[in-house]
Structure 1
Amino acid sequence: MAITYNDSERSFKLDTPKSSYVFKISPTGYLLHLYYGAYVPESDLDYLRMRLINASFSASVASPEEKGLSLDTAAIEYPVNGSGDFRVSALSIRGDNGSSVTDIRYASHRIYSGKPRLEGLPATYTNSDDEADTLELTCRDALTGAEVVLVYTVFTKLDAITRSVRVTNCSDKPFDIERIHSMALDFTESDFTLMHLQGRWAKERTLVKRHLQFGLQGIQSKRGSSSHNNNPFIALARDGYTEESGEVYGFSLVYSSNFEACVEVDCMRSTRVVMGINPVDFGWRLEPGESFTSPEVVMVFSAEGVGGMSRTYHKLYRYNLCRGEWKTKKRPIIINNWEGTYFNFDEEKLYAIAKDAAELGIEMLVMDDGWFGVRNSDNCSLGDWYVNENKLKGGLKSLVDRVNSLGLKFGIWFEPEMISPDSDLYRAHPDWCLHVDGRDRSIGRRQYVLDMSRADVRDNIFEQMSAILSSANIEYVKWDFNRNLTEVGSALLPPERQRETAHRYMLGVYELLERLLTAFPHLLLEGCSGGGGRFDAGMLYYSPQIWTSDDTDAMERLEIQYGTTLCYPPSAMSAHVSASPNHQTGRESSFKTRGDVAMAGAFGYELDLTKLNDEERELVKKQVADYHKYYDLIQNGDYYRLINPTEDKANPTCAAAWESVSADKNEVLLTYVVMRTQVSVSRYIRLVGLDPEKIYVDEATGRRYSGALLMNAGLNLTGSWHDGESKVWHLVVSC
């Protein structure tokens, strides 16, 4: 098995193909971390224990067996609050005595094949039990009666380990969880660069790097979603790393609400990482016999740089997180009407777009915001999910049937979690939105947020959505979420449970998503949150593709898509060709470049097709044909980032480049985009991930290159380039 227990040393060893993770049980039941890194054959690593004795002002545990062990200076597997470890803790439980001092000790463990489900939560899974092994390690707090189960799953063919925590109240009195992180990890050194994905609306997931400093550093969201601002992913790269070499540790939280990823460097220059639910405004009361399960963190180790880490996440999330038939089924090329019409459309306008789409080879029409209630702007009708027959005079089925008759599939937009003050639903149920009695209700985009922790609210929305989806042949839903959560309170929860609201909200959203996909198993669901405001692993469990950003400008998308691929597979990035000048930036760019950039993900269009000229229509036909030709390579190939589009000293050519390589290394798709032209600049690009012994043929020119030549000397791109110009090379191995 990938997990072994050494009874004589009381140690656990978790092995992936290229990594090892080792910890042990101390004489009095503390869990001491020993090693996480490149694979090692040894299982007895006790000599690696941090053995600093009697460190000044660091209390020792109250046991002569531990010989002065200080929890403040040891590497602790899962640190808790108040028992002598003064660094950031992963767990804090407040007992009925009012104290938050927590002390958990090893009680038992079991190791088995396969991977358990996390009740009510998205998580990675196995397609068969031989894909993973699991360790469930049970600890107990004798005073509070808390049973704490640390769950580790090791994927046997990928360098990935997942972690989660389950707390059960085994006493006869309630207690409160004040803080519960899904994982903790201690390193003996601090020579790391912290990477994370920062942003804002229309500028999501920009890669940020900073060397670790003394003290606390990290990222969080308190917005009720993973957010545009910080993505629930971080990485630590050991000094000396590059994109394709060096040691990198990745941490990705499978959760879509408030989170925290905290890194602390202490006075001994050791480093601690914790990740999980944000403890700010969080609490959870457990009555006797009740349990609480944390979201899952996926840890990845790579000795092949940042790129190696990314490709592990890509494979795992494509095949062991995304679910349903659309995980592997070829997804349709979409035309979405939003930037083509905004709210100003009717049935005939949509049909005209669909007719052109069919002629151009596009496969699905998606009707965006504005089809329901009396909605002609964003100031009303959210929550009133019935057809606006002033726009769709023949009703929804008539439009869908007409679109289907052209050979196109049909999709539709919803924003199920929101409610407009000017809506029938709000007038009937003003208490159904999140609110705190006595406080004003903040409004964003002229809408409130429904209290999705309530079953009656979810039932109402499900019934409305189900009626629409059952009324016509609708095969796709775009699920939007256009504001952050404020006044996070629920009318149904008592005062002592109000801090549970944000997490209960997210559990409610997950329950509604699960119910919808169970009722409509063939539905393709695309996540969205004002663009990429909820682009996270939790949502990928339900929606295999997510709208990457509301900024559809090709030059802006280069940086957004670059950052997104650090953790998430290209197959998850919904990317569309939009109009020029772009509606967000006003920038003009060629139709070809817009297509080349969008083709890096789940491809589609977002403009008024009826306004295209003949040349543009021919380009659409070519792009559609190319996407079908390269589909498997783009969606399932190994992805390599070659040039970071950020304009800095590392990118003097002001360009971006990426590459997809087939698993057998017989096919390559290389894309190069010049962001800004410069005079007298040499441009060369070395490819990565090829077979050095194979001969690759440039499909366009017939020129032959060895894999060794392409990887060591590269391609010479020196010449005359224009701002925003792009080129794509398709290289195949000579038979």
Structure 2
Amino acid sequence: MNIFYNEKDKAFKLRANNTDYMMKVCEEGYLAHVYYGNKVPDEDLTYLLRLDESPFTPATNDRDRASFMDTLPFEYPCFGLGDYRESAFKIMDADGMSTSDLRYVSHKMYEGKPKLEGLPATFATEESGCSTLEITMYDKYADIEVVLIYTAFDKLDVITRSAVITNKSEKPFKITRALSACVDFDTDKMDMITLNGSWARERAVERCRLHHGKQLVDSCRGESSHQNNPFVALCDNNADEDKGEVFGFNFVYSGNFYAQAEVTQHKKTRFLMGINPLDFEWLLEKGESFTCPEVVMVHSDEGIGKMSRTFHDLYRNNLIRGEYKDKRRPILINNWEATYFNFDTDKLIDIAKEASKLGIEMLVMDDGWFGHRDSDNSSLGDWFVYEKKLMGGLKYLVDEVNKLGMKFGIWFEPEMISPDSELYKAHPDWAIQIKGRPLTLCREQYVLDYSRKEVRDYVYGMMKKILDSANIEYIKWDMNRQLTEVGSATLPAERQRELWHRYVLGVYDLMDRLTTDYPHILLENCSGGGARFDPGMLYYSPQIWCSDDTDAIERLKIQHGTSMCYPCSAMGAHVSDCPNHTVGRNTPFKTRGHVAMVGTFGYELDVTRIPQEDRDAIPAQIEEFNKFNKLVRTGDHYRIGNMFEDNTWDAWEFVAKDKSEALFEFVQVLGRPNERSRRIKLKGLEADAYYYEENEPDKKISGAALMNAGINIAKMWNGDGLYGDFCSKILHFIKV
């Protein structure tokens, strides 16, 4: 048990590997945050609260209670009693009042980690044990109970947080703010790192120095979004990849989120994360409970890189589930950029025949196989085969592909409905809408009301018929638009603002049914590319399509940002054709392969039409991927270059857990004249060991030299003999 309680001081300590998190129950039952950082031997650090300084505790000096409330570092701050910083919890009671007052009642500690009802969350394993602390808080005036749930992982610097709110009274009330975590830091000298962007340029790293006031990222789109990812890191001003203290926060949720750092009047920083309170309400009747989604908190005393690797280990081992949790994913070819909507059975079989000869293992049929869909203006919701395209039916196509020794995958967009569809004509009220208002189109589609079980049951029934009709071994689940006119035809007026959250719970419910009924199917999530790349989705699918932008050079930034908290094994990444369909850039086929090899790896092109030189390169490319995939999938990832700071080159490295080998990858983005080779220092090796590069077995270099002195990367030239923009190379170092 790595949780300790000091009865004398009413102080708690959670220990997660080399990290300690400490709290204290103050007089009158207020729960205060004491310390979060490197482990310390002391049982009691409550002197850090300065309770012997003005403003004194209310028990000592009640005349300044409001000032006390506005300075105490609360673990779960409430609204309305004098704490004018942002609160984690707010209600609206039956009398229209919004004040709440939560005080400590009891606690319990136990080994293991509880599940969160209806929600994805990290879990314990035998290899990575964990301990949980539940602290029960109570508002005796409103008769509300809030259980704060903390779990500390034994072997990782990870603490997770959640809360369960229960109405103990006879009267209903509305929750208007129910965040999952709050941490008060005793400094304002921090930087805030976020992942921002838009469609086709997701998760760009942005770093800003905190200043007085409130700095936040959020989503109000009904999904975690292209624009902001539910990840924030707070770090020392001088922290970099390898040094400095960093606190990372990631929200295990796929809907509207809120993450805010507030620098207060006393130059302290309050950080909050949870469901976005904008347009959110939840009615709690007598005896009902509401569960807040989980926040994952990671502490690093060795820079941003260590924080990332901790997230990677946690998500690979304690979030991702299923058959493909620890397996190499099949090398697939997707027909989207190859054909878009212009395909039929013969075309897909032609692609499969050529692909199978080259060693590609799966054909994925993307959008356009259902209803009467020849463009993106119809048929979503009509999940039956478009016979005009798939002559002979789906089973015939799948069987023919299987005969070639290939697996078969299929695309769905289960959350959407087209106005031009049989489903919409039969059930127009199944679309999310506000009665009497026109519906806003996006990609000429609406969103289905997944708060309604009958809607989910109907959609799942159609999907099940398709999945049972043929040997389908992969699903790409897409979501191509956000929510507007958020209203439900069945929810009563007092529950309409619950739809945002009920929608997400409905998506989770359907994904849970799908992965339970078809445990052998590989599920890949997608949302117009990377608009729902979040840990909530990783709980159901071991990989997520990283971005619709498949250009190798653009992907350097996208994959760099994604790796801040998500493992490379979860990044859907493909080799596509050139000129690239998003940016029009031409890059060497070799470079496209090296960049895609960082992720799940596959092809997004018409293999029957690409240049013969590229086609001939595929078998060797696949062989290279297979050789290094286990290292990429399970090793420690080190970012060496940074395209956000220097757009002329990028580099990264994967190191085996036992330090026995390392894969170094380098991309020369822009060639520059009158420049010598580039000196680059490797990372993560065993300093006292010796390594050789695979192609130079007689040249042995110490790990210390590779990390402290570095290696020289000579200028590269592309295959045409021209100066080498967009060239790449890999080096494989093996311990002697």
- TM range, smaller chain: over 0.9
Q: Distance in 2 between matches of 1:590 and 1:720?
A: 12
Aligned to 2:725: 723
- List aligned pairs for 1:42-121, cutoff 5 A: 42-51=42-51, 63-64=59-60, 70-121=68-119
Q: Deviation at 1:679?
A: 1.7
2:185 equivalent among 184, 187, 190: 187
User: Secondary structure, in 3 states, of the residue corresponding to 1:205?
Assistant: strand
Does the aligned pair in 1 maintain the 2:577–2:610 contact within 8 Å?
Answer: no
User: Secondary structure, in 3 states, of the residue corresponding to 2:346?
Assistant: helix
Does the aligned pair in 2 maintain the 1:411–1:474 contact within 8 Å?
Answer: yes
Aligned to 1:405: 403
Letter of the structure 2 residue corresponding to residue 316 of structure 1: L
Q: Distance in 1 between matches of 2:610 and 2:198?
A: 32
Q: Distance in 1 between matches of 2:340 and 2:604?
A: 11
Aligned to 1:499: 497
Aligned to 2:21: 21
Aligned to 1:359: 357
Q: Distance in 2 between matches of 1:410 and 1:50?
A: 64
Q: Deviation at 1:54?
A: 5.0
- List aligned pairs for 1:681-696, cutoff 5 A: 681-682=675-676, 683-696=678-691
User: Secondary structure, in 3 states, of the residue corresponding to 2:463?
Assistant: helix
Aligned to 2:696: 701
Q: Distance in 1 between matches of 2:58 and 2:436?
A: 48
Aligned to 2:664: 670
User: Secondary structure, in 3 states, of the residue corresponding to 1:643?
Assistant: coil
Q: Deviation at 1:701?
A: 2.8
Q: Distance in 2 between matches of 1:61 and 1:443?
A: 56
Letter of the structure 2 residue corresponding to residue 34 of structure 1: V
Aligned to 2:586: 588
Aligned to 2:36: 36
Residues 141-173 of structure 1: CA deviation (Å, up to 9, x unaligned): 111111000000001010000000100111111
Aligned to 1:125: 123
Q: Deviation at 1:681?
A: 3.1
More displaced, 398-407 or 44-53? 44-53
Does the aligned pair in 1 maintain the 2:18–2:38 contact within 8 Å?
Answer: yes
Calculate the aligned-residue CA RMSD, in Å.
Answer: 1.3
Q: Deviation at 1:437?
A: 1.1
Does the aligned pair in 2 maintain the 1:113–1:134 contact within 8 Å?
Answer: yes
- List aligned pairs for 1:138-537, cutoff 5 A: 138-537=136-535
Q: Structure 1 vs Structure 2: percent identity of aligned residues?
A: 55
Q: Deviation at 1:276?
A: 0.2
Aligned to 1:4: 4
User: Secondary structure, in 3 states, of the residue corresponding to 1:325?
Assistant: coil
Count of residue pairs brought into register by the alignment:
726
Residues 125-147 of structure 1: CA deviation (Å, up to 9, x unaligned): 11239711000100001111110
Does the aligned pair in 2 maintain the 1:28–1:66 contact within 8 Å?
Answer: no
Q: Deviation at 1:654?
A: 1.2
1:95/1:728 Cα in 2 relative to 1: closer, same or farther (>3 Å)? same
Q: Deviation at 1:695?
A: 1.4
Does the aligned pair in 2 maintain the 1:233–1:251 contact within 8 Å?
Answer: yes
More displaced, 583-592 or 694-703? 694-703
User: Secondary structure, in 3 states, of the residue corresponding to 1:318?
Assistant: helix
Letter of the structure 1 residue corresponding to residue 381 of structure 2: G
Aligned to 2:735: 733
Q: Distance in 1 between matches of 2:243 and 2:62?
A: 40
TM-score (norm 2): 0.97
Does the aligned pair in 1 maintain the 2:51–2:57 contact within 8 Å?
Answer: no
Q: Distance in 2 between matches of 1:61 and 1:98?
A: 30
Q: Deviation at 1:62?
A: 5.2
Q: Deviation at 1:68?
A: 5.1
Q: Deviation at 1:617?
A: 2.2
Does the aligned pair in 2 maintain the 1:113–1:130 contact within 8 Å?
Answer: no
Aligned to 1:624: 622
Does the aligned pair in 2 maintain the 1:27–1:66 contact within 8 Å?
Answer: no
Does the aligned pair in 2 maintain the 1:94–1:100 contact within 8 Å?
Answer: yes
Aligned to 1:713: 709
Q: Distance in 1 between matches of 2:703 and 2:121?
A: 38
Does the aligned pair in 2 maintain the 1:532–1:549 contact within 8 Å?
Answer: yes
Q: Distance in 2 between matches of 1:669 and 1:50?
A: 50
User: Secondary structure, in 3 states, of the residue corresponding to 2:98?
Assistant: coil
User: Secondary structure, in 3 states, of the residue corresponding to 2:510?
Assistant: helix
Does the aligned pair in 2 maintain the 1:92–1:177 contact within 8 Å?
Answer: yes
Q: Distance in 2 between matches of 1:235 and 1:324?
A: 29
Q: Distance in 2 between matches of 1:239 and 1:146?
A: 40
Q: Distance in 1 between matches of 2:181 and 2:416?
A: 32
User: Secondary structure, in 3 states, of the residue corresponding to 1:28?
Assistant: helix
Q: Where does the alignment leave 5 or more consecutive residues of structure 2 unmatched?
A: 718-723
Q: Deviation at 1:405?
A: 0.8
User: Secondary structure, in 3 states, of the residue corresponding to 2:314?
Assistant: helix
Does the aligned pair in 2 maintain the 1:114–1:129 contact within 8 Å?
Answer: no
Does the aligned pair in 1 maintain the 2:236–2:244 contact within 8 Å?
Answer: yes
Q: Distance in 2 between matches of 1:407 and 1:705?
A: 44
Q: Distance in 2 between matches of 1:62 and 1:490?
A: 47
Q: Deviation at 1:65?
A: 7.5
Does the aligned pair in 1 maintain the 2:27–2:57 contact within 8 Å?
Answer: no
User: Secondary structure, in 3 states, of the residue corresponding to 1:521?
Assistant: coil
Aligned to 2:720: none
TM-score (norm 1): 0.97
Does the aligned pair in 2 maintain the 1:61–1:84 contact within 8 Å?
Answer: no
Does the aligned pair in 2 maintain the 1:50–1:74 contact within 8 Å?
Answer: no
Q: Distance in 2 between matches of 1:53 and 1:47?
A: 10
Does the aligned pair in 1 maintain the 2:332–2:360 contact within 8 Å?
Answer: yes
Q: Deviation at 1:93?
A: 1.5
Letter of the structure 1 residue corresponding to residue 15 of structure 2: D
Q: Distance in 2 between matches of 1:65 and 1:130?
A: 46
Residues 374-409 of structure 1: CA deviation (Å, up to 9, x unaligned): 000000000000000101111000000110111111
Letter of the structure 2 residue corresponding to residue 46 of structure 1: T
Q: Distance in 2 between matches of 1:51 and 1:107?
A: 21
Q: Deviation at 1:64?
A: 4.0
User: Secondary structure, in 3 states, of the residue corresponding to 2:215?
Assistant: strand
1:17/1:66 Cα in 2 relative to 1: closer, same or farther (>3 Å)? farther
Q: Distance in 2 between matches of 1:14 and 1:510?
A: 30
Q: Distance in 2 between matches of 1:461 and 1:588?
A: 41
- List aligned pairs for 1:526-675, cutoff 5 A: 526-646=524-644, 648=645, 651=646, 654-675=648-669
Q: Deviation at 1:538?
A: 0.4
Does the aligned pair in 2 maintain the 1:113–1:129 contact within 8 Å?
Answer: no
Q: Deviation at 1:697?
A: 1.2
Q: Deviation at 1:553?
A: 0.5
Q: Distance in 1 between matches of 2:496 and 2:669?
A: 49
User: Secondary structure, in 3 states, of the residue corresponding to 1:627?
Assistant: helix
Letter of the structure 2 residue corresponding to residue 716 of structure 1: N
1:692/1:62 Cα in 2 relative to 1: closer, same or farther (>3 Å)? closer
Q: Where does the alignment leave 5 or more consecutive residues of structure 1 unmatched?
A: none
Letter of the structure 1 residue corresponding to residue 309 of structure 2: R
User: Secondary structure, in 3 states, of the residue corresponding to 1:349?
Assistant: helix
Q: Distance in 1 between matches of 2:591 and 2:626?
A: 18
Letter of the structure 1 residue corresponding to residue 39 of structure 2: Y
